[in-house]
């Protein structure tokens, strides 16, 4: 449906209907629009216009005697052409800055705080995804023996990010072996991106002089280090809030959403695919979401930077959401998070 094909009256009434529905969660009738928005036209004229909007597929009538609610197509017209971003208050900005303040924790702690702040300020789900590490430059590897048979590998990246992986070791390891292996790994791998390391690890470490039993942990094709390290992780806040949204009184909708959240990799892929193809704020509405489990939801997301790589944050909620406020919230949080990551 082309926006240009709508009359000025149709644009105005569509905008009023969606604005009212987002606040009330009840189907909107012509008299409610006439009384609330004072458009200078009769309820009968508004009703006829709403009928025209329904025929265009922009609104629908859930029950014969009810008012109308927006369709996904109606929301898309609203978001793309009629929406005005609602500025954040000073208190909201302060809450974001305070919530993202760097404490004793690492990057995962900051991202967990980010998802919680987004949830608290939106009453929806807050999502934060760790950066993709393939383009991150490794600056140091530390090997720490935790107990007999367990080895902690700490990888620090130039961006300030770090990852830890706990490995099972079959045989006992001496302190000298650990020190020598750590020296070899740092000499051969520091200064390279994770993606490059993954592709060339065998040729770089073969005949390097390290402990054979430790070398196998790093050069085997099925090594847990290189298979798991590049994958992103997701933090979710606000599951206790989303269940009180009226749309999730329908337990099927709630069950589908919870299923998607538990299938973490699918949701990460969904959000990363969007952020990789776009810059700025991305809004995906209803059936535009590839995953059917969240086709009753909308997603507002944005990328943040962490050194030479990026991650994604966002808000997930029912399609009936205050898009103007949430766009401002996600945009500001992404900007602040990028600053925090730069300092971190």
Q: Report pLDDT digits (tens) over 157-209.
A: 887 777 788 888 877 788 888 889 899 999 999 999 888 888 888 888 877 77
In angstroms, the CA 341 to CA 344 distance is 5
Q: Give the per-residue pLDDT at 344.
A: 54
Share of the chain above pLDDT 70, in %: 94
Q: Crossing angle of helices 212-219/175-189, nearest 10°?
A: 40
Look up tokens 């695919």; give the residue. 273
Could you report the per-residue pLDDT of 224-253, keeping only the tens digit for each? 676 666 677 899 999 888 888 888 888 888
Contact at 8 Å (CB) between 102 and 343? yes
Alpha helices in 235-314 (DSSP H): 239-242, 251-262, 264-277
User: How is residue 221 annotated by DSSP?
Assistant: T
Domain count, the chain: 3
Reference 297, options 275, 262, 323, 330; nearest CA is: 323
Q: Specify whether 240 is located in the same domain as 310.
A: yes
Confidence of residue 223 (pLDDT cuts 50, 70, 90): low
Q: Are residues 74 and 94 in the same domain?
A: no
Domain that holds residue 320: 90-132+232-343
Residue tagged 């602040």 (tokens): 336
What does the pLDDT read at residue 243? 85
Q: How confident is the model at residue 279 (pLDDT cuts 50, 70, 90)?
A: low
The string of pLDDT tens digits covering residues 62-94 is 887 779 999 999 999 999 999 999 999 999 999
List, for residues 127-147, the tens digit of each pLDDT value.
999 887 787 889 999 998 887
Q: Other C-beta atoms within 10 Å of 329: how many?
A: 27
Question: In the listed set 205, 229, 253, which residue is the last one of a domain according to the structure?
Answer: 229
Q: How far apart are CA 273 and CA 267, in angstroms?
A: 10
Tell me the average pLDDT of the chain.
87
My answer on whether 303 and 256 are in the same domain is yes
Q: Are residues 175 and 289 in the same domain?
A: no
């Amino acid at each position: 449906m082309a926006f240009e094909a709508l009359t000025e009256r149709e644009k105005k009434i569509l905008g009023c209907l969606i604005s009212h529905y987002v606040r009330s969660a009840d189907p909107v009738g012509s008299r409610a629009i006439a009384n609330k928005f004072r458009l200078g036209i009769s309820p009968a004229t508004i009703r006829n216009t709403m009928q025209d909007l329904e025929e265009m597929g922009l609104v629908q009538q859930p029950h014969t005697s009810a008012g109308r609610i927006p369709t996904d197509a109606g929301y898309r017209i609203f978001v793309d052409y009629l929406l005005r971003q609602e500025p954040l208050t000073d208190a909201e900005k302060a809450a974001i800055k305070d919530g993202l303040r760097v404490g004793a924790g690492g990057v995962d702690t900051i991202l967990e705080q980010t998802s919680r702040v987004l949830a608290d300020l939106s009453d929806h789900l807050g999502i934060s995804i760790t950066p993709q590490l393939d383009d991150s430059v490794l600056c140091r590897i530390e090997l720490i023996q935790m107990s007999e048979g367990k080895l902690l590998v700490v990888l620090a990246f130039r961006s300030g990010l770090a990852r830890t992986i706990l490995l099972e070791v079959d045989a006992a390891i001496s302190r000298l072996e650990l020190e020598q292996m750590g020296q070899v790994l740092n000499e051969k791998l520091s200064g390279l991106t994770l993606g490059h390391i993954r592709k060339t690890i065998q040729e770089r470490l073969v005949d390097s002089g390290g402990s054979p039993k430790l070398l196998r942990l790093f050069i085997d094709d099925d090594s847990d280090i290189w298979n798991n390290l590049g994958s992103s992780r997701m933090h979710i806040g606000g599951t206790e809030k989303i269940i009180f949204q009226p749309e999730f009184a329908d337990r099927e909708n709630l069950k589908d959403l919870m299923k998607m959240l538990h299938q973490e990799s699918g949701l990460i892929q969904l959000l990363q695919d969007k952020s990789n193809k776009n810059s700025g704020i991305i809004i995906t509405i209803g059936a535009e979401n590839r995953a059917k489990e969240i086709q009753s939801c909308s997603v507002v997301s944005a990328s943040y930077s962490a050194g030479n790589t990026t991650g994604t944050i966002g808000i997930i909620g029912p399609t009936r959401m205050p898009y103007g406020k949430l766009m401002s919230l996600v945009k500001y949080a992404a900007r602040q998070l990028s600053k925090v990551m730069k300092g971190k």
